[in-house]
């Protein structure tokens, strides 16, 4: 079974994790029409690009899914890489995955099936699970029934869990793109921009994505929680200037963001102290 979905994966120095991500895509019960791997000018002397080519060759004759590799000449960050994949995509739906994450085998079957049945919905996200980095891929048994939540602008502003990028599927026809001048919280800006522009979005209450790091404060760009918070506040300011959110929405969103940042900072600090203490214990 194949579905008209383009999977876009930005890749940067990800030789050690990209295989797990691609295998999870190629193990879908509903395979995507194409997978677009975007090497964002990795600085690992060609190891990431070689790994992408190895994966492309491995699956070349095994499925009808086309694997496309884009090698960017200059490093532009996740927004540039995702936008490059978006522009190359040929299918009516686009699903995003990060190189260090993975999907449940039924992710595309369920998510595309819902969007196909409800064509007025232009964007969906779903729940996710954090696993240890050394965990093997696990095919979790999903519940027979699940809930769908329609995500209004207010719900998105007040609750931060919706639409983590590796869970998102969006119609290719959406005119908005990731802001290339933002290196942090650029994805959250885009999702709120899409919703604020009178587009219908929904949340599937099923854990269909596996994160192998915490969604913030652990590794990669999300490790810098101060820069992430600054990026989110810049995003609110920009949306207000664009008149996509009003003054009340801006004020409440800005304030809630700061409150959530303080809570997030405390959690990350505790986690880092705990990890450091445990490392010292193990060293004895």
Percent of the chain with pLDDT over 90: 74
pLDDT higher than 50, residue 176: yes
**Residue 141: DSSP 8-state:** P
Q: Look at the block and give the residue holding tokens 């790091």.
A: 213
Q: Report pLDDT for 6.
A: 98
Q: In terms of C-beta density within 10 A (0-12 exposed, 13-18 middle, 19 or more buried), how is residue 246 classed?
A: exposed
pLDDT higher than 50, residue 220: no
pLDDT higher than 60, residue 219: no
pLDDT-wise least confident of 29-33, 168-172, 276-280: 276-280
More confident residue, 182 or 204: 204
- In this prediction the pTM is 0.88
CA distance 228 to 169: 23
Pinpoint the alpha helices (H) of the chain.
18-26, 47-58, 78-88, 107-117, 153-158, 186-196, 225-241, 247-283
Which range, 76-85, 140-149, 226-235, has the best average confidence (pLDDT)? 76-85
Helix axes 47-58, 18-26, angle to 10 degrees: 20
Mean pLDDT, rounded, for 175-191: 94
Confidence of residue 193 (pLDDT cuts 50, 70, 90): very high
Residue 233, by phi and psi: left (phi above 0), alpha (psi -120 to 50) or beta? alpha
Mean pLDDT, rounded, for 182-203: 95
Confidence of residue 177 (pLDDT cuts 50, 70, 90): very high
CA distance 14 to 267: 27
pLDDT higher than 50, residue 227: yes
Q: Report pLDDT for 260.
A: 85
Mean pLDDT, rounded, for 83-111: 97
Q: Report pLDDT for 94.
A: 98
pLDDT higher than 90, residue 105: yes
Mean pLDDT, rounded, for 134-154: 84
Q: Look at the block and give the residue holding tokens 């992408």.
A: 52
More confident residue, 136 or 191: 191
Query: How far is the CA of 156 from the CAs of 96, 257, 280, in angstroms?
Result: 19, 11, 40
**Based on the structure, what is the number of domains in the chain?**
1
Mean pLDDT, rounded, for 147-157: 94
The DSSP-derived string for 82-106 is HHHHHHH--SSEEEE--TTEEE-TT
Q: Report pLDDT for 281.
A: 40
Mean pLDDT, rounded, for 231-254: 95
Task: Residue 148: give the domain boundaries.
Answer: 2-283
Mean pLDDT, rounded, for 121-133: 92
Q: Report pLDDT for 273.
A: 77
Q: Report pLDDT for 272.
A: 67
Residue 239, by phi and psi: left (phi above 0), alpha (psi -120 to 50) or beta? alpha
pLDDT higher than 80, residue 16: yes
Q: pLDDT averaged over the chain?
A: 90
CATH number at residue 263: 3.90.550.10
Instruction: Report angle CA 162, 94, 5 to the nearest 5 degrees.
Output: 125
Q: Report pLDDT for 280.
A: 40
Q: Report pLDDT for 143.
A: 87
Backbone angles phi, psi at 31, to 5 degrees: -75, 145
For 124, the token pair is 């969906």
């Amino acid at each position: 079974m194949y579905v008209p979905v383009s999977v876009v994966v930005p890749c940067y120095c990800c030789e050690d994790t990209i295989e797990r991500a691609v295998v999870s895509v190629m193990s879908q019960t509903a395979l995507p029409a194409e997978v677009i791997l975007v090497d964002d000018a990795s600085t690992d002397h060609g190891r990431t690009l070689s790994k992408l080519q190895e994966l492309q060759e491995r699956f070349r004759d095994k499925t009808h899914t086309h694997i496309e590799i884009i090698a960017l000449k200059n490093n532009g960050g996740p927004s540039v890489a995702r936008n490059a994949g978006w522009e190359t995509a040929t299918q009516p739906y686009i699903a995003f995955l990060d190189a260090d994450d993975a999907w449940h085998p039924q992710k595309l079957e369920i998510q595309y099936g819902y969007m196909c049945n409800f064509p007025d919905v232009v964007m969906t996200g779903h729940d996710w699970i954090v696993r240890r980095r050394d965990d093997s891929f696990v095919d979790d048994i999903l519940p027979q029934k699940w809930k769908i939540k329609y995500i209004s602008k207010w719900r998105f502003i007040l609750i931060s869990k919706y639409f983590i990028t590796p869970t998102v599927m969006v119609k290719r026809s959406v005119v908005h793109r990731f802001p290339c001048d933002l290196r942090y919280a650029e994805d959250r800006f885009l999702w709120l921009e899409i919703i604020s522009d009178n587009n219908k979005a929904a949340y599937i209450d099923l854990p269909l994505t596996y994160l192998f790091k915490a969604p913030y404060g652990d590794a990669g760009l999300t490790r810098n929680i101060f820069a992430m918070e600054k990026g989110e506040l810049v995003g609110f300011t920009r949306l207000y200037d664009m008149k996509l959110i009003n003054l009340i929405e801006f004020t409440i969103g800005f304030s809630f963001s700061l409150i959530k940042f303080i809570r997030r900072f405390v959690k990350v600090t505790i986690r880092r102290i705990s990890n450091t203490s445990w490392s010292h214990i193990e060293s004895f």
